[in-house]
Structure 1
Amino acid sequence: MSDNNHQKQMQYGFSHMQWMQNFYTQGMFSDIDLIILKKRYHTHKSILYSASPYFRAKLDQNMDIRELKICDDGIRKESVDKVFEFLYKGTLEMTIEQVANILKLAEILQLDDLKKNCYSFLKTECRDNQRVSQKTEDIDKYLLYNFSKITSHEKYLNLSVENVKQMLSSDDLQESSEAQVFKGLSKWNKYDWNNRKKDLYSLMKYIRLPLCDVSFLLEEVRSLCCESDSESPFSIVLDALRWHQMPEKRSSLSLMNAKCRNIHKKVLIFGGSHRDISGIIDIYNPITNSWSELSHTAIKITQFSSVILKKKIFIFGGRDTNGNVTNEVYSIRLLTRKLNKLEAMKCKRSASTAAVVSDRIFVIGGFGASNSVEEYDYVKNSWKKVAPMNDSRYNHTSVVYKEDIYVFGGYTGSSRLNSVETFSTKTNRWKTLRPMKTATSSLSAVVVDDYIYCVGGRDGSSYLSNVERYDPLSDTWTSMSDSLVKDFGLKAVCFNGKIICFGGENSRAVQEYDPAYDQWKIIGAMPKHRSHYNALIF
């Protein structure tokens, strides 16, 4: 094709895009209204259908639809205007103050091209500016709250040293342990080591090294320092070792920051086997080791599963006031405590588990549901079945590790299980793994760094205090020190590299486990006796 012909085709395309912009701005030939923030936007099905799978699904259900209401939770009007500018123009001009809200709406509407545009803009801003403006609070929060997800991505690896300092110094940086924070710093340094090794010392000052165990300091941290041309980083490592081994010297170690991160994180405790407490939500503060009551809700269902997503609690199934297994689904908005009933699941189930992977919600197994697994689309408020587990089970436990779901133990109705399987959300397939050493149900599991710890449960004849550690990389199990309480129907969470375990059927004890030293200690008690309840960090 000649350059002249190519230029004519380009002009022809631009002309048509200009006409489409005119149709939108003047409301000409509109065949569907989008209702967002109580305002009508006169749009065109052909544009929407070609833009995203979200609109394709809606239109495939009913091509005669004349209006469509869009979830507008937290959306700003200027973001909506920018989205339509992109849909009808193909390009978009935005500022750093706008990009976070545009990206949020693009995710809701599944506008992949717009999301790529936003990420490209963000990457350019992070690379070209020495420091992102103080006005970019939303972007800062995105990076802080998704630290573990972004450390392998270019937008993180191309951050300026000032941006990295800003992240590492924040108390709100979200990571399972300080060791993982250091690994994120190591990735950034090694991405351009020749130019960045000079920054290692200044950045290591922001790592809370006293929160790392001695073996990690001697192996991982010392190894990176050995690659540096300077001896300065070693001084920080030595101070961290002194912190651990010489407590009387801590007041003189000025560079050592032992303050916990995630200072605003709390644990929600709610639900259980008893209806009189199933609707009461208690809050545990790990920093102060204190309790408070959040609210009483109208929930009377017991033995349900739940997750937190988009500042809402989602509640799945359980047993109603008559003891019947239900497929009902509810959401509770954390800010307003407003309770909404949502589209019911396809299967009735209780004693199931639920998991969130990249904003996708999965509900797994449960009494009455055999081995079935369902996926919930919170934007469309709809359900679909995905691949079933290999084993039927309820009163099991599950965790998410690197975007895969791992399921442990449970009960078949006649026997306890030691079986373990993992679900790939990318391939929609289940894989059987090496079984646990003990067959158990009503146990709890939690991820700490690159290990999964399974705690307590019931083997049929007795209550358990045993702890098994699973290594997903080698598919192996290791027995750890027993917890201090034998119990089942308990829950555990990870906070700053340690496990906090809450009592179950027989105990209200709150225990803390330090994986670095394989040690347990009692740190308090729950205000209410619960069993088979839910514990969620928010």
Structure 2
Amino acid sequence: MSISSRDRKSTSEDCDSRQESPTMSSQEAGSGHSLSSLATQEECFRSSRHAEMSLGRMEAYLTKNQLTDVTLVAGSRRIPAHRLVLSAASGYFAAMFTSDLREASQSEVMLRDVDGDALWTLVHYCYTGSIELHEETVETLLATACLFQLTEVVDACCAFLTKQLHPSNCIGIRSFADFQGCMDLLASAHSYTTEHFMEVIRNQEFLLLAADEVAKLLASDDLNVPNEEFIFHALVSWIKHDEGNRKKDVSRLLSLVRLPLLSPAFLADFIETSPLFREDRACQELVMEALKYHLLPERRPMLQSPRTRPRKSTVGALYAVGGMDAHKGSISIEKYDLRTNCWSTVAKMSGRRLQFGVAVLDDRLYVVGGRDGLKTLNSVECYDMKSQAWTSLPPMSTHRHGLGVGVLEGPLYAVGGHDGWSYLNTVERWDPQARQWSYVAPMSMQRSTVGVAVLNGKLYAVGGRDGSACLCTVECYDPHTNRWSPCASMSRRRGGVGVGVINGYLYALGGHDAPASNPSASRFDCVERYDPKTDAWTKVACMGVGRDGVGVSLLGDRLFAVGGYDGQQYLRLVEAYDAQSNDWHQVAPLNTGRAGACVVVVKNSSTC
């Protein structure tokens, strides 16, 4: 019986895209169309082990030296192989055997400067897809795999070496990765070296480094050290390891130590009179630059250089404490690490507080006043970072929320606020030695949600609310005369303003000018800078988002604006201001959006 053309099916179609024919009934099976129906039932078989079995046979041929068509020679090793298998696995061999190069037709190919054992291991990998990695041979294997363009082997070797990183070998692995162009391994080794720098400098690898490599390390902002003193001592150890040959590099390497950030006493005791640096004119000029930085603080804005920029790990940690959040009040304390650009929750307040003040005394957080949602507080608590414990301190004489706090020449000041009934102009001072509060001269105006900062030995009270409106006025307190003096007013009224100090200037960030009857009015993104020498305010770059209740603090050489309220939501946003370039950029956001958080910096220990 013939088959009509319309019943024929193309046998070239992909078997996975075919549809099965309906099951035939017994009547159809006996009809004249049964052959045509059977022709539509086709099946595609695929072996899941075909590639594995084929390569297994090829490996057997390799072992028995059967059907091989090329011999690779490396040193004393002669390795027979199959061009097809090598070309399928390696871009290097594919280029060699499929081109017009003479090696394409040679039965024997000489591979110069290639380790024979590594070559055999990699040839075997081309057949099996598996390889054993050993600590003593992995670097040779990686270098050879890079040559033969065996990407997966390179990646496996890099992953293996990453797991082997240790303070005693990370510098060597870092140099090796750089030479081989293994950028992921280079990044991992560099990160490990900077993270564990305190241990790295105690190992032989550091002492044997070339001067240029030492310079690369000392120039890094990412070295994880408590303070700059450790960098200086590391440099001295390196120089003394081979002083005769290394003295010529002393001034170049000393210029990479941030000398202005060392204390005057340290400069005098360890550097100025040291035989290593005393006879070098360039070194003495660096010392004088550092001493001038300390002796003339009012000129520091003009003395900025790479040596005045602190390393990320030496600036301390930024803490965001409490604040209002979507749950009507956060009790969490988050810590920001500049080096890792990461926030982590490190503690909780002992209870709910809103519109309170926080200051740092003796590496402890002092939490002052605020309100618990029902009543205004005068209580004061202290959080010890080391013991992670809260203790109560004597309360203020006045209950205050919306206050500002600042530490000036030792004592802590609690400024203005609201006592639950009226706006306040009173100011109290906490004496940490006498452990008691006392009143000082009151401000000229009542201020709540006031911004408070310390600049040039004076306490500044900026903006806030006086009950009838937001304020643009500013006044400053001199502790030696116990008097408040008026300063130039800001260009606009700012309630809920954030304030900070950098390079001898006072900054006022964000805020609002909303009447109490319109709390949803827009928030400001504008920023003003006050120069105490000219008693004048100047507008600078705006923040990315308008907000009030923004926490502000100086961390390193940048001013951080943390959280806030934009009229719709409590923000996780954190921006950092670079005074040299006059611009803002975002850093890692908070874990919890919050406004009115108190933001302070706890410095690293200064002892070496």
Q: Tell me the TM-score normalized by structure 1.
A: 0.55
Once residues 405 and 197 of structure 1 are traced to their aligned partners in structure 2, the CA distance between those partners, rounded to angstroms, is 44
1:526 maps to which residue?
Answer: 590
Query: What amino acid does structure 1 have at the position aligned with 2:543?
Result: S
**Aligned equivalent of 1:315:** 367
User: Cα gap change, 1:289/1:448 in structure 2, threshold over 3 Å: closer, same or farther?
Assistant: same
| SS of equivalent to 2:588 | strand
CA deviations over 1:279-331 (Å, ceiling 9, x no partner)? 2111011222101111123222221101110121111111124x211111111
Which structure would you say has the larger Rg? 2
Say whether residues 1:327 and 2:409 are aligned partners.
no
Q: Is 1:487 the equivalent of 2:547?
A: yes
Task: Quote how far apart the aligned CAs of 1:498 are.
Answer: 1.5
Partner residue, 2:601: 537
| More displaced stretch, 305-314 vs 505-514 | 505-514
Percent identity, aligned pairs only, is: 24
Q: Distance in 1 between matches of 2:472 and 2:379?
A: 30
User: What letter matches 2:435 in structure 1?
Assistant: N
Q: Does residue 419 of the first structure (1) align with residue 473 of the second (2)? A: yes
On the 8 A contact 1:170/1:261 being kept in 2, the answer is no
How far did 1:278 drift?
A: 3.4
Give, in angstroms, the shift of residue 496 of structure 1: 2.5
Q: Is the 8 A contact 1:300 1:320 kept in 2?
A: yes
Q: Aligned partners of 2:565, 2:375: CA distance in 1, in Å?
A: 21
Counterpart for residue 357 of structure 1: 408
Q: What is the alpha-carbon distance in structure 2 between the residues aligned to residue 337 and residue 490 of structure 1?
A: 26
Q: How far apart are the structure 2 equivalents of 1:438 and 1:469?
A: 12
Report what 2:564 is aligned to: 504
The code of the aligned residue for 2:595 comes to S
SS at match of 2:391: strand
Which protein is richer in strand relative to its size? 1
Matching of residue 305 in structure 1 with residue 357 in structure 2: yes
Match of 1:147 in 2: none
Q: Which residue of structure 2 aligns with residue 204 of structure 1?
A: 286
Taking the aligned partners of 1:277 and 1:455, their CA distance within structure 2 comes to: 22
1:395 alignment partner, SS class: coil
CA distance in 2, matches of 1:455, 1:528: 21
- Contact 2:464/2:494, CA 8 A, preserved across alignment: yes
Q: What CA distance in whole angstroms lies between the structure 2 residues aligned with 1:510 and 1:218?
A: 25
Structure 1 residue runs without a partner (length 5+): 1-140, 145-161, 176-180, 190-195, 209-215, 222-236, 241-255
Aligned partner letter, 2:354: T
Task: Report the residue type matching 1:271 in the other structure.
Answer: G
Measured in 2, the distance between the counterparts of 1:449 and 1:378 equals 28
Contact 2:312 2:338 in 1 (8 A): no
Cα offset, 1:518, TM superposition = 1.2
Confirm or deny: 8 A CA contact 1:207 1:257 kept in the other structure. Answer: no
Matched, 1:263 2:353: no
Aligned equivalent of 2:435, options 381, 386, 393: 381
Q: Return the letter of the residue paired with 1:513.
A: Y
- Residue 381 of structure 1 deviates from its aligned partner by 2.1
C-alpha separation in 2, matches of 1:218 and 1:471: 12
In the other structure, the counterpart of 2:509 is: 455
Distance 2:411 2:301 in 1: 39
Residue matched to 2:445: 391
Cα separation, partners in 2 of 1:217 and 1:534, compared to 1, 3 Å:
closer
CA distance in 2, matches of 1:349, 1:500: 26
The residue identity in structure 2 corresponding to 1:386 is V
Q: Distance in 2 between matches of 1:476 and 1:515?
A: 17
Per-residue deviation, residues 180-207 of structure 1 (Å, max 9, x unmatched): x9xx99xxx9xxxxxx997454553998
Q: How does 1:86-485 map to 2 (within 5 A)?
A: 169=257, 173=261, 199=281, 201-202=283-284, 204=286, 260=311, 263=314, 265-274=316-325, 278-321=330-373, 323-368=374-419, 370-460=424-514, 461-485=521-545
CA spacing shift, 1:258–1:416, aligned 2, 3 Å: closer
- Contact 1:407–1:420 (Cα < 8 Å) also in 2: yes
Structure 2 equivalent of residue 35 of structure 1: none
Structure 1 pair 475–326 and aligned structure 2 pair: CA distance change class (3 A): same
Question: What CA distance in whole angstroms lies between the structure 2 residues aligned with 1:441 and 1:505?
Answer: 12
- The CA distance in 1 between the partners of 2:319 and 2:599, in whole Å, is 6
SS across alignment from 1:525: coil
Post-superposition Cα deviations, 1:80-131, rounded to whole Å, max 9, x if no partner, equal xxxxxxxxxxxxxxxxxxxxxxxxxxxxxxxxxxxxxxxxxxxxxxxxxxxx
**Cα distance in 2 for residues equivalent to 1:438 and 1:358:** 31
Residues 355-392 of structure 1: CA deviation (Å, up to 9, x unaligned):
11121111000012510000111232211100000110
Q: Evaluate the alpha carbon distance shift between residue 441 and residue 257 of structure 1 in structure 2; reply closer, same or farther with a 3 A threshold.
A: closer
How many equivalent residue pairs?
A: 327
One-letter amino acid of the structure 1 residue matched with residue 362 of structure 2 = K
